[in-house]
């Protein structure tokens, strides 16, 4: 993965940028000033340097000059505010690859880094510059996602990679997913493996809470943080269905966590089936501070390859009242039917089906006929030719019955050879 050295004198910016670019496939590291960044680049050589222009004691332009003097092929992207566009243009003249504006637009930032990484790759292929010596991101132990989110599909691997990156930092998280995908299970994993794991896990349902009471719990009349923050102090505050918050509360929540309170914010949003998770339901401030790069849990229909291992995982939980977990098995035909069904209720629906089937099936082997009709019905449909043949035979039988089993009369009325009735 391409390595990026983020240089900014604000630690909060490091966490924000890491949460955004790591899921996009970049390995990030940090420096708080330009001088330290120069020393680290000389020792490790990063693919891309992403540096703020306004820093102290060494500003971004000075760092850029010295870095390009050391390695004229260094790829440097500068970060600047709206008021510093002229300075950013000066940075381009000094050899910067490009610049991005604050506040960041996710697509613009990731797109610029992708172009920078592609340039590095092309340079290395042509023998220009040096290949990165930076090793892939490591340090935190590998996370194990809960059963509903386990699997080997590419969708689950991508989610696992994002969770691995975002869990160790204090950055607020938004988790999106359809009902039954394991949204809250993922929130608990992030809490239990994150920097506030020793503290409480306090949850609030924004869809069910009284709006006025919720407002009073979040913020006091004088604008200070309310009782919810006190209850979640040192731990995690989970806001379920956060899209139900009124715009002013969304903005207040974003402001509160931009100041790094002594707890972590995890928000969840249930996304209706087949809807676009990017549908606009957040204010700009909340989207920038909290929802800029959500963790989207893939629905089961997009990870059908994971169904066999999920079935085995569910069976291991001892869901059969009659047999030990290792005694129950699904035939290949039954597993094929499970893997072809779209599962609108996601993992929760799969769990309920497995529990019900193992409870009522006669024996420890689950056959296709034991599955609910909605799962096997499409796969038991006859072909068109078979269907038409069945209808033809039914028609001839009815015609023969109405003709008093007089095959000659039935043949004349149906306009078919009399021999068609011989086998009826």
Q: Give 251-281 pLDDT, tens digit per residue.
A: 988 888 876 668 899 999 998 765 555 556 8
Residue-level pLDDT at 381: 59
Residue-level pLDDT at 143: 57
CA angle 143/148/154 to nearest 5° reads 70
Dihedral class, residue 227 (left if φ above 0, else alpha if ψ from -120 to 50, else beta): alpha
Residue-level pLDDT at 127: 55
Residue-level pLDDT at 376: 81
Contact by Cβ (8 Å): 48, 2: yes
Residue-level pLDDT at 32: 87
Q: What is the C-alpha to C-alpha distance for residues 145 and 143, in angstroms, rounded to an integer?
A: 6
Burial class (CB in 10 A: 0-12, 13-18, 19+), 315: buried
Instruction: Give every CB contact of residue 234 below 8 A, 6+ residues apart in sequence.
Output: 196, 198, 199, 200, 262, 263
Residues of the chain with pLDDT under 70: 82-85, 124-144, 146, 259-261, 273-280, 292, 377-382, 387
Residues forming beta bridges with residue 266, ordered by sequence position = 173, 238
Residue-level pLDDT at 380: 56
């Amino acid at each position: 993965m391409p390595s990026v050295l983020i240089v900014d004198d604000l630690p909060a910016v490091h966490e924000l940028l890491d949460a955004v670019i790591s899921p996009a496939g970049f390995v990030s590291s940090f420096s708080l000033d330009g001088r330290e960044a120069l020393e680290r680049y000389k020792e490790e050589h990063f693919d891309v340097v992403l540096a703020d222009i306004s820093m102290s004691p060494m500003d971004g332009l000075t760092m850029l000059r010295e870095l390009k003097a050391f390695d004229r092929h260094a790829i440097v992207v500068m970060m600047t505010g709206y008021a510093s566009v002229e300075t950013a243009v000066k940075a381009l003249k000094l050899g910067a690859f490009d610049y991005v504006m604050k506040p960041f637009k996710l697509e613009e930032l990731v797109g610029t880094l992708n172009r920078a990484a592609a340039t590095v790759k092309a340079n290395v292929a042509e023998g220009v510059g040096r290949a990165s010596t930076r090793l892939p991101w490591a340090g935190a132990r590998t996370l194990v996602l809960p059963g509903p989110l386990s699997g080997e599909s590419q969708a689950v691997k991508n989610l696992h990679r994002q969770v691995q990156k975002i869990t160790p930092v204090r950055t607020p998280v938004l988790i999106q997913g359809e009902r039954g995908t394991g949204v809250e299970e993922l929130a608990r994993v992030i809490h239990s493996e994150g920097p506030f794991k020793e503290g409480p896990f306090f949850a609030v349902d924004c869809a069910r809470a009284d709006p006025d009471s919720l407002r009073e719990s979040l913020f006091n009349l004088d604008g200070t943080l309310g009782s919810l923050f006190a209850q979640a102090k040192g731990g995690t505050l989970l806001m379920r269905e956060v899209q139900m918050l009124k715009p002013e509360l969304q903005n207040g929540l974003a402001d509160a966590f931009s100041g790094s309170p002594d707890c972590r914010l995890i928000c969840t949003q249930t996304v209706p089936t087949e809807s676009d998770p990017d549908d606009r339901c957040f204010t700009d401030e909340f989207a920038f501070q909290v929802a800029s790069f959500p963790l989207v849990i893939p629905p089961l229909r997009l990870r059908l390859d994971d169904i066999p291992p999920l079935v085995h995982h569910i069976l291991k939980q001892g869901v059969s009242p009659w047999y030990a977990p290792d005694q129950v098995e699904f035939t290949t035909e039954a597993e094929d039917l499970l893997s072809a069904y779209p599962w609108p209720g996601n993992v929760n629906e799969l769990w309920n089906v497995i529990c019900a089937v193992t409870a009522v099936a006669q024996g420890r082997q689950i056959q296709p006929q034991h599955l609910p009709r909605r799962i096997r019905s499409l796969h038991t449909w006859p072909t068109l030719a078979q269907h038409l043949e069945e209808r033809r035979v039914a028609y001839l039988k009815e015609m023969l019955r109405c003709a008093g089993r007089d095959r000659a009369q039935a043949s004349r009325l149906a306009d078919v050879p009399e021999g068609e009735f011989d086998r009826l």
